[in-house]
Amino acid sequence: MSMQAAPGTFRPDIEGLRALAVSGVVAFHFGMTGLPGGFVGVDIFFVISGYLITRHLQQEIARSGTVNLWRFYGRRARRLLPASLFVILLTLLFGYFILSPSEQQFYSKGSLFASSYMINLWLIRWTVDYFASDASNNPFIHYWSLSVEEQFYLVWPALLLVLARLRPGKRGLFLLLAGVAAVSFAVSWRVTAIAQPWAFYFSPLRAWEFAAGGLASMAVPQEWARRFRFSPALGWLGLALIAAAYLTVTEEIPFPGSIALAPVLGTVMVLLSGAHESRIGPRSVLALQPFQEIGKLSYSLYLWHWPVIVYAGILEPDLTIAQRLLCLALTLVLSLLSYHFIENPVRHSGWLAAKTSRSLGLAALLTATGATVAYGSAALASFNLDSEQQQVLKSAERKSAAREFDSACVLERDEIAPKACEFGAKNPKKTIVLFGDSHADHWSTPLKRIAENNGWRLVTYLKSSCPAASVTTWNSVLARNYSECDQWRKLVFGEIASLKPDVVILSQYSSSYVKNDINYISSYQIDVGEWAKGIKRTVQTLKDTGSDVVVLRDGPLHKSYLDKCVARALWQDESPSVCDTPRSEAVEETIPAAERKVVSEAGHASYVDVIDLFCNKTTCPAVIDGKLTFRDRHHIAAPYAESLAARLRRAIFGETVDGGVRTE
């Protein structure tokens, strides 16, 4: 992302490629263009870095027979660390006034890992955590790519030096590094399908992209490109591949996987074409002044754009186009300032360059400063975490009754065998089954209380992102049809048939599976008619077991993460009501209407509307009776869920506890 060409070997087309890369990333994150694949600009940066670093190291090996690793690391430190730390420090400073103390605590950890170039490893764990905060609010998440790059810089020079000493020759060295790239790509491709965060963030699984650039810089392909008659056409084809990736790759496609080949090979083609120095190739366009100016600022633009848009989105959740343009202008101003007053002066400092020890000392000082400030920021946030803030935090962190009993009560995506978790009486008057996804799970808290209070037994069958409705859904994490859900559901039907419960209660995050006006998840959401048929099939299957069936309407979807929004409001001396969502924006009516219709036609089945537990006629409040209603946008906070036990019992079973389930 930041490797510079050696003096006298400047390639304007590479600077133009940097401009193309950072423009895609910024446009994607700012949501200002129709570039769903703009995020692959990071992959372009990786290839460019691999190209430049390998070319530079090969030149040094050819000249001196070795690589001065300490001097190399010193140059990298002067180039990367000053601007990086400056942005980290200002991001923490502004975060003090914008973020709640609990968020400041959490993101201070992010700044620590960002300062030490290990945030990609932190994000692997964080991303797969079910209760993790939303990534869109993490002002340091973009440092993952810098961490991957810096980790590559630590390993690649040593690898090249070892291989050079084996004297395999030009072709032999090329083949050895091609083997390294092939292994990295093959593993990355496989891991993308089974553990995507590892493929995305883990540097060895991104090494093939750097290696692809490195291979393009080597003598064998360079000599071929200079002689190849159609090198200019190759470059234009490369730009077309990059453009196709920008226009067609989406977040719904497993990435990096095989799809990352498009921007990577496209960038390699452009780099090889540039070796030809033809006037009719893309080099002539990429060398234009606008591309050169943006490319020169690409590192600073990358550092600044994300915290700017994150904080702007927190302060004004629905940014207009004009406001986004203002954010872009602010990013440009900040980038110019840091480039001219920090990035360039330190990089070109003669005093630092004179002795490697000075550059390495600077690296140690800056890293230590980042760590110290991160710890100080976390300590200050902890001091500011008053009782009200702690109450919000505890409400959001408290697990549902099922998860508190055993986290395995809610199956993960790859699990199929049903797990029945039981609560309440051993010799019950009535047995209730709760069946569904995480939206069924949040009802386990009040239903457990109901079962215990009435001498009943509650049995749960729960699986993450898996509806009780008999439909095949798309799983965005697996990036494919959720076959494990279909298999689990069939097995659960069998267990319920053997159990013969009195009542089966269904609940699911319906608006995430079905096309609707308030909750766009992906283009793979199904039609409401197909969903209604799935509900009907499930209700009929469960009725055939002799059980009464209750279908709970799904709850509201808030416009913001309520735990964060309420905590920020308290920190800024505002009322939590600023986090309320208008009922018209939080409640979807098309899906419930279809569900209600098929359930009412089934007989011995009940459709229970729970919206009034969360919303009045105009508003869905963030706080009711002093309790946080939802721990995020749509999962009920456990303390509030527990307070709903009496009202939920009346809604499902009527006033008479031992009476049957009312039907509609």
**pLDDT value at residue 227:** 86
* pLDDT exceeds 90 at position 621: yes
Residue 497: C-alpha distances to residues 35, 89, 193, 415, 544 (Å): 50, 60, 34, 21, 8
**pLDDT value at residue 1:** 60
Q: Give pLDDT tens digits for 160-176.
A: 888 888 877 888 889 99
**pLDDT value at residue 614:** 98
Give the residues across from 458 on adjacent strands. 423, 432
Residue 514: C-alpha distances to residues 51, 407, 470, 556, 644 (Å): 45, 27, 13, 15, 27
- 124-127 contact pairs (CB < 8 A, 24+): 124/197, 124/198, 124/201, 124/202, 127/197, 127/201
Percent share of the chain, pLDDT over 90: 81
Domain parsing of the chain, residue ranges: 12-385, 399-556+587-610+645-653
* pLDDT exceeds 70 at position 499: yes
For residues 411-449, one letter each, b for 16 or more C-beta atoms within 10 angstroms of the residue's C-beta and e for the rest, the string is beeebeebbebebbbeebebbbbbbbbbbbbbbbbbbbb
| C-alpha 21, offset from chain centre | 20
Q: Which two tokens stand for residue 489?
A: 């559901």
Q: Give pLDDT tens digits for 462-491.
A: 999 999 999 999 988 777 899 999 999 999
The mean pLDDT value of the chain amounts to 92
**pLDDT value at residue 166:** 83
* pLDDT exceeds 50 at position 111: yes
Report the C-alpha gap between 624 and 354 in whole angstroms.
65
Residue 264: which pLDDT band, with cuts at 50, 70 and 90?
very high
Q: Comparing 440-444, 462-466, 520-524, which segment has the lowest mean pLDDT?
A: 520-524
* pLDDT exceeds 90 at position 564: yes
Q: Quick one: average pLDDT of 530-542?
A: 97
* pLDDT exceeds 80 at position 323: yes
Residue 130: which pLDDT band, with cuts at 50, 70 and 90?
very low
Residue 286: which pLDDT band, with cuts at 50, 70 and 90?
very high
Q: Quick one: average pLDDT of 532-557?
A: 96
Residue 318: which pLDDT band, with cuts at 50, 70 and 90?
confident
* pLDDT exceeds 60 at position 658: no
* pLDDT exceeds 50 at position 643: yes
CATH of domain 399-556+587-610+645-653: 3.40.50.280
pTM above 0.75, yes or no: yes
Q: Give pLDDT tens digits for 210-238.
A: 999 999 999 888 888 888 888 899 999 99
* pLDDT exceeds 70 at position 191: yes
Task: Report residue 70: phi and psi, to 5°.
Answer: -65, -40
Report the C-alpha gap between 488 and 490 in whole angstroms.
5
Q: Quick one: average pLDDT of 16-36?
A: 93
Residue 328: which pLDDT band, with cuts at 50, 70 and 90?
very high
**pLDDT value at residue 129:** 42
Q: Which residue has the higher pLDDT, 141 or 171?
A: 141
**pLDDT value at residue 395:** 95
Q: Give pLDDT tens digits for 448-459.
A: 999 999 999 999
* pLDDT exceeds 90 at position 205: yes
- CA atoms within 13 Å, Cβ hemisphere of 194: 6
**pLDDT value at residue 131:** 37
**pLDDT value at residue 317:** 83
Residue 135: which pLDDT band, with cuts at 50, 70 and 90?
low
Q: Are 162 and 230 in contact (CB under 8 A)?
A: no
Percent share of the chain, pLDDT over 70: 96
Q: Quick one: average pLDDT of 117-132?
A: 73
